[in-house]
Structure 1
């Protein structure tokens, strides 16, 4: 695939926002890798709608507020965090940097950012934890065999991960046409190493049929599997991929310790609403019983403030971390997070919000439209 993973150049002088990292990464990465990272389900309607929806929300400026002692700290699932910016679980960091997730986790530590490590990381979860200088959560894809799921959980517990983030919205991959057209495939030296030795779903073969209803969904997790997982670990369990009030209610009822409003970055089911539209619906259903987090199209500190105003406790950023890693290595990821935090602080200052808890719908223009 012609990957060029030589040491990234110094961060270009014109990189001052996350969109600049995306632009430089697009020029640096081979076409198939770029198609994998940027690829979305089908026509990309949801992927395009995610950032557009945040951009459409208007803010309410406030002047002469007393912001002495302002900060961005929060308490989340037993952790005191200095800011609400989390690195979302993203697979295969070695596609863009030779050190992969080990480089990203250095940036997380340097910026006091919580990183959520993917089941499909290109390095062992223990190796990533050993390089960490801050708290980690482990994103869990539940496996067809419960013993394999439990093996991943026990490894995460032993390595010191502080929570499990169970992705529930992708029992099958979306049909990513951009990726298909580019002919993307993983290089021979990159794989989901944490799944080595685990049994894949048993797929039946029938002419003219895809695998979805021939075994994939038979092996997909169900609500009873979440209840079982809760009974097997003392770690907080967060469900990622909640897109409606009914599932939010059921998540709380089954004992989830938190939920993440996510449409998988538009990579799974195309046609879902943007997360800015879903977030207030889910937050309203949760009604403060457990933390609500959000991802999908967060590209500016103003987007973060808007998400917090609509009910999120924190946000996660996905693609931008790979853009920054491809361009500037660990320094790039740290710089990307620093930009986002600075933008959030400026937005808080100009909307008169001294603490995260002060951010509510009063920070939004009354006639806001998010879609």
Structure 2
């Protein structure tokens, strides 16, 4: 049996994926901005939270189920939006959504997917959200919203923290460009040939987007809107004031601003700011089921997973993604039981203490 079929952790999958991918593609998928301090800070923020188990609680039955904007999912783990899955594997986004659906989990599909949103939706058996950039062409932006609604996507996720792509040392060193066989399939007639990913994004994505555009987007359809990339309490409040149904606390996986605050450090202030006015999620450095439990205990409704999904895809296609998602759910369930949490609603702040014992 391969490591991809039976991993102890996502790091087992990462080691296998590293052998499957050319160096410049591995660097693009895994790199961060600048010296990658925020990339490391996201992980360190989880490590700074100790779990404090409760004992003699009946955990003979365990229930990981929750809802995300009304859609029931098998666990509070979701696939974050990531561009160009075909860089990792030829089966690309369709394999990812099949795997997420098979595990009963939510998947968010990127505007810059390497298959069309309709092709991806046709493969889905679980809930899908569509991640959206506000493009310079507002007509094209509206068309993407209409297409997503028609294809059965259940929410729109507006990426707010990438008016331009961050300064990424690894990609600058390699001069990374999309291979000829990978293109943004949702944007007809657009290819990445001859341009870096940053150059391509700068041509397509509108850097003048403001809060007014959140309200505009909210008015285009009846789909709920999640604002992704929020780190400030005031921005979380503005998101809700402009019609957002959810906020994803995210620093773009450390890929935008080197030295930006870690998401788990930003989460408490965001939660305090919005109260129960919207759902709040977190991503960035989620590598273990224990991280998911820490996020829940901190008040997040779900944790979104990014790079490890692409590791699974690179290692073994759909089966590799399923293996990655399963290891999160399995570790989460076992750790919940050991901590005296029979369901996700019982993971509260009393489960946490600052600092990790050596």
- Class of the TM-score when normalised by the shorter of the 2 chains: over 0.9
Higher alpha-carbon deviation: 179-188 or 317-326: 179-188
Which runs of 5 or more structure 1 residues have no equivalent in the other structure?
Answer: 1-8, 201-209
What secondary structure does 1:332 align onto?
helix
Matched, 1:269 2:257: yes
Whether the aligned pair in 2 keeps the contact of 1:72 and 1:345 (CA below 8 Å) is yes
Matched, 1:246 2:246: no
| Residue in structure 1 matching 2:316, options 301, 325, 328 | 328
Higher alpha-carbon deviation: 290-299 or 44-53: 44-53
Shift of 1:183: 2.9
Whether the aligned pair in 2 keeps the contact of 1:107 and 1:333 (CA below 8 Å) is yes
Per the alignment, residue 79 of structure 2 pairs with 87
Matched, 1:288 2:293: no
What secondary structure does 2:107 align onto?
strand
Per the alignment, residue 6 of structure 1 pairs with none
Whether the aligned pair in 1 keeps the contact of 2:110 and 2:130 (CA below 8 Å) is yes
Per the alignment, residue 122 of structure 2 pairs with 130
Per the alignment, residue 41 of structure 1 pairs with 33
TM-score of the superposed pair, with normalisation by structure 1: 0.90
Separation in structure 2 between the aligned mates of residue 85 and residue 218 of structure 1, nearest angstrom: 30
Provide, for residues 314-358 of structure 1, a one-character-per-residue CA deviation record: whole Å limited to 9, x for no partner.
111000000011111101110111100011111111111112111
Whether the aligned pair in 1 keeps the contact of 2:251 and 2:263 (CA below 8 Å) is yes
Whether the aligned pair in 1 keeps the contact of 2:133 and 2:158 (CA below 8 Å) is yes
Matched, 1:256 2:244: yes
Separation in structure 2 between the aligned mates of residue 10 and residue 296 of structure 1, nearest angstrom: 27
Give every structure 1 segment of 4 or more consecutive aligned residues whose post-TM-superposition deviation is greater than 6 Å. 214-218
TM-score of the superposed pair, with normalisation by structure 2: 0.93
What secondary structure does 2:165 align onto?
coil
Separation in structure 2 between the aligned mates of residue 134 and residue 50 of structure 1, nearest angstrom: 28
Per the alignment, residue 181 of structure 1 pairs with 173
Separation in structure 2 between the aligned mates of residue 260 and residue 287 of structure 1, nearest angstrom: 14
- State the aligned residue count: 349
The 5 Å alignment of 1:128-167 reads 128-167=120-159
Shift of 1:197: 4.6
What secondary structure does 1:346 align onto?
helix
Separation in structure 1 between the aligned mates of residue 179 and residue 166 of structure 2, nearest angstrom: 21
Matched, 1:339 2:295: no
**Aligned-residue RMSD, C-alpha:** 2.1
Which runs of 5 or more structure 2 residues have no equivalent in the other structure?
Answer: 193-197
| Residue in structure 2 matching 1:304, options 292, 298, 307 | 292
